[in-house]
Structure 1
Amino acid sequence: MPSNDKPVNGQENPSFSDLIDQAPPPPVLELDGKHRTRRLARLRAAWKESWEEGGFLYQRWDEVFRARHASWHEIATWIKAAALFGGISLIVMMVDAAGDIASTTLRGLSVVPAVPTAGDGSGLWGTVDHPIRLFLADQAAHLAVAPAALYVFWQLTGLLAFVGGFFRNSGARIAWLLFGCVTLAMVWSASPAGGRTAATGLAALMWALASIFALRGLTLQPIVHNHPPQFQPQFSPTLHLHAWLPAPTPAGDDFDDEPDNIHPLQR
């Protein structure tokens, strides 16, 4: 059987199955009244030989050990294939799980009664949720849309804004702030007059607690980035001096025709 491994020291590196076939048949041994087969002995001999320096398993382990400090192009092909297969399998599992979660969430959101009943206003969540459903049901009577559709849209808006804000999306955080303001307004409008302040305050506290996660990392302090200028002009002042020298005196001129107080400049 041909081997796909690189030759070691100028010799072909045998594969694991070749080592099994080339191993000498050991003598039959007895243990507790039973005989060990030659096949088992060959496997043991091939296993030990493959872990020796230059063996098949020794080289594979060495490739795994060196892959920690090597670049992607230097990693062995079989390691790349295993990593890609594992990554693709993980992505498929995550997409499948996300699809199931989204389907379950949408099914739960869609199962909403068209008109809220009197028993829906019990508990902390009911104190906030019941006025919202009453408000949407009252407004849907004047619109060409079902109250359940408005309620589901309100829930989806809050869910998407919360998830997007958690991942620090600016648009989702703006939607989350608008969602909170609109929710507080609906609770204030549809709550009973006697408990309107308490219901609105409770809704504000719930929204503030959820904002801890939806607005995580948001700060009101200005962020100052000090970056050095990319271009720094270089100033190198220079001083230019111009000296004028008189023309050289022609040969044979004895200066007899010049006044005695004028002498030529000597360099």
Structure 2
Amino acid sequence: MPSHDKPINGQQNPNFLDLLNQAPPPPDAKRRPRPKRLAGLCAAWRESWKEGGFLYQRWEELFQARHAGWHEIAVWIKTAGLIAGLSLIVMMVDAAGDIASATLTGLSNVPATDAGDGSGLWGTVDHPIRAFLADQAAHLAVAPAALYAFWQLAGLLGLIGGFFGNAGTRIAWTLWGLASLAMIWSAAPAGGRAAATGLAALMWALASAFALRGLTLRPIVHNHLPQFNPELHLHATVPAPAPAGDDFDDNVHPLQR
């Protein structure tokens, strides 16, 4: 390639392209050359992880999000978290709907069982409830065993949820107990109605010690001493200085004879 540089000491001065063509090939030249697209992707990947690169900045934002408040977190992290949370809620609601549907279907298909003879303490309380539900199921499109299984499930959920302090399950536990007492009073034999209802009330009260633990009806009174900060504010008015050349104030006149 011809050179346009001026000769030095009578010799031709090679340019940069000549030196580049005469340079030995790099060691990696003997290897199989990479495609241009793959090489560009590898170079972009390395550049993005350098300080100031795109992936480097995203990683720093994700690392700092652990100690930052909600307002300091990057917008893309908030968006990803909200999308993940909504997706999880949708999945949980869908799973809960399937579980509830399968449970209700199973309760509806429970075969009828014997109501029992009502012997023993538990039988004295349980037999009137079975008899009441069986009598009501005759007028409904549901099996008596399904009503009894649902009654047991409601009481179990109210007991467990109330033990963990859930307000909704505690309300359900209270309504479940009152409904149970009403069913026992209605279906128990006339001679032992009061005894059966009283025994059920005692059992329900003992179980409520676990379901309603920590619940108190006393009003919570917060005694806060009034905070008094004695501060004295003095407002002093400083008169403006008299203009130069006036020996006396406007309201003061010299004594004249």
Unpaired runs of 5+ residues, structure 2, are 1-25, 233-257
Check whether the contact 1:52–1:58 (CA below 8 A) recurs between aligned residues. yes
Q: Give the superposed CA RMSD.
A: 5.2
* Structure 2 equivalent of residue 67 of structure 1: 65
Deviation string for 1:84-130 (max 9, x for gaps)? 2111111111111121122123223333556x4267989x9988655
| Structure 1 residues 85 and 145, CA gap change in structure 2 (3 angstroms) | closer
| Structure 1 residues 67 and 29, CA gap change in structure 2 (3 angstroms) | farther
Check whether the contact 1:187–1:203 (CA below 8 A) recurs between aligned residues. no
Alpha-carbon distance between aligned partners in 1 of 2:117 and 2:110, rounded to the nearest angstrom: 11
Helix, strand or coil at the partner of 2:167: coil
After superposition, residues 40-79 of structure 1 pair within 5 angstroms as 42-79=40-77
* Structure 2 equivalent of residue 136 of structure 1: 133
The one-letter code of the counterpart of 1:224 is V
| Structure 1 residues 56 and 133, CA gap change in structure 2 (3 angstroms) | same
After superposition, residues 153-172 of structure 1 pair within 5 angstroms as 154=151, 158=155, 165=162, 166-169=165-168
Which one of 103, 107, 111 corresponds to residue 105 of structure 2?
107
* Structure 1 equivalent of residue 83 of structure 2: 85
Which one of 92, 96, 104 corresponds to residue 94 of structure 2?
96
| Structure 1 residues 228 and 186, CA gap change in structure 2 (3 angstroms) | same
TM-score (norm 2): 0.52
Aligned residues: 199
**How many percent of aligned residue pairs carry the same amino acid?**
63
Cα drift, residue 55 of structure 1 = 1.3
Alpha-carbon distance between aligned partners in 2 of 1:120 and 1:52, rounded to the nearest angstrom: 81
After superposition, residues 1-267 of structure 1 pair within 5 angstroms as 27-28=28-29, 30=31, 35=32, 37-38=34-35, 42-112=40-110, 116-117=113-114, 129-138=126-135, 145=140, 148=144, 151=148, 154=151, 158=155, 165=162, 166-169=165-168, 173-183=170-180, 186=183, 190=188, 208-209=206-207, 212=210, 214-219=211-216, 223-228=220-225
Deviation string for 1:137-170 (max 9, x for gaps)? 34667xx55674865774576477558744224x
Check whether the contact 1:109–1:155 (CA below 8 A) recurs between aligned residues. no
| Structure 1 residues 45 and 125, CA gap change in structure 2 (3 angstroms) | farther
The one-letter code of the counterpart of 2:51 is E
Unpaired runs of 5+ residues, structure 1, are 1-24, 237-267
| Structure 1 residues 157 and 227, CA gap change in structure 2 (3 angstroms) | farther
Check whether the contact 1:168–1:215 (CA below 8 A) recurs between aligned residues. no
Alpha-carbon distance between aligned partners in 2 of 1:29 and 1:202, rounded to the nearest angstrom: 92
Check whether the contact 1:26–1:38 (CA below 8 A) recurs between aligned residues. no
Check whether the contact 2:117–2:123 (CA below 8 A) recurs between aligned residues. yes
Check whether the contact 1:133–1:151 (CA below 8 A) recurs between aligned residues. yes
Alpha-carbon distance between aligned partners in 1 of 2:167 and 2:178, rounded to the nearest angstrom: 20
* Structure 2 equivalent of residue 260 of structure 1: none
Alpha-carbon distance between aligned partners in 1 of 2:39 and 2:57, rounded to the nearest angstrom: 23
| Structure 1 residues 202 and 228, CA gap change in structure 2 (3 angstroms) | same
Alpha-carbon distance between aligned partners in 1 of 2:60 and 2:135, rounded to the nearest angstrom: 72
Cα drift, residue 221 of structure 1 = 6.1
| Structure 1 residues 159 and 101, CA gap change in structure 2 (3 angstroms) | farther
| Structure 1 residues 216 and 101, CA gap change in structure 2 (3 angstroms) | farther
